[in-house]
Amino acid sequence: MARIAGGDPAALGELYDRYGRTVFGILYRLLGSAEPAEEVTQDAFHAVWRRAATYRVDRGSVRTWLLAIARNAAIDWRRTKGKRLEREAAIDEAAELIEETRVDDRVIASLRAERVRAAVAVLPDEQRVVLSLAFWSGLSQSEIAERTGTPLGTVKSRVRLGMSKLRERLRLEGER
C-alpha cells in the first residue's frame, strides 16, 4: 500500500493480481453481469489508487478495505446507472444463492471456499437468508427489514448471530 500511495502503478497491478479475482467475482454477483462488474472493478481499484494514503492498517486488512470500497461502488452503481434493476430481482438472486450454498455443483477450486460454503450451509435458514440479502442485494439492515417485512431488531440479531457463528466455525475449521 505504501508503494501505491507513493504513486507506483505496478504496485496497483500486484494488488489486482492478489485480489482482483475475488473483487470481480463479488461484483459480478452483486451486479448480475460481466459488463458492469468490469466497470465497477476498475473504478474500485482506481479508488484504492487515489485513496491509498488514507488507508490505515489498524482499521483492517487491505483486502477488507478493498472489499468495502468495491461493495459501496457497486451499490452506488446500482442506484445510479443500474436503476433499471428491480430490487425484487436482487432478492430473488439472494434466495438463489441460498440454494447454491447447498447444492451448487460448480467446482470451487479453493479448499477455503469449500469450508466457507459448508459453514454457511449449516447456518439456520433465517440467518442464512438475512446474510445472503446483506451480501448480495446491496440493501442495508433497515432496507432488508422493510423488504422482508421482518422487524429491524430481528434482522439485526440474525446478522449478528449469523456472522458470529460463521466466524467461529471458520476459526474452528482453520484450527483443524
Q: Which of 2, 79, 86 is nearest to 40 (CA)?
A: 79
Ranges assigned E (strand) in 14-171: none
45 binds another protein, rule: CB under 8 A: yes
Per CB under 8 A, the list member of 26, 90, 98, 129 interacting with another protein is 26
16 binds another protein, rule: CB under 8 A: yes
Per CB under 8 A, the list member of 1, 20, 82, 126 interacting with another protein is 20
Per CB under 8 A, the list member of 88, 154, 160, 172 interacting with another protein is 160
Question: Cα separations (Å) of 82 from 71, 94, 99?
Answer: 14, 17, 25
Alpha carbon distance, N-terminus to C-terminus of the chain: 32
Q: 151 is written with which cell numbers? A: 422487524
Tell me whether residue 41 or residue 129 sits nearer to another protein (CB atom): 41
Tell me whether residue 92 or residue 171 sits nearer to another protein (CB atom): 171
Site residues for another protein, window 53-112 (CB under 8 A)? 54, 56, 58-61, 63-64, 67-69, 71-73, 75-76, 79, 108-110, 112
- Residue 117 CB neighbours (<10 A): 14
Q: 8 is written with which cell numbers? A: 507506483
166 binds another protein, rule: CB under 8 A: yes
Q: Is 56 exposed, middle or buried (0-12, 13-18, 19+ CB in 10 A)?
A: exposed
Per CB under 8 A, the list member of 1, 29, 147, 148 interacting with another protein is 29
Tell me whether residue 89 or residue 164 sits nearer to another protein (CB atom): 164
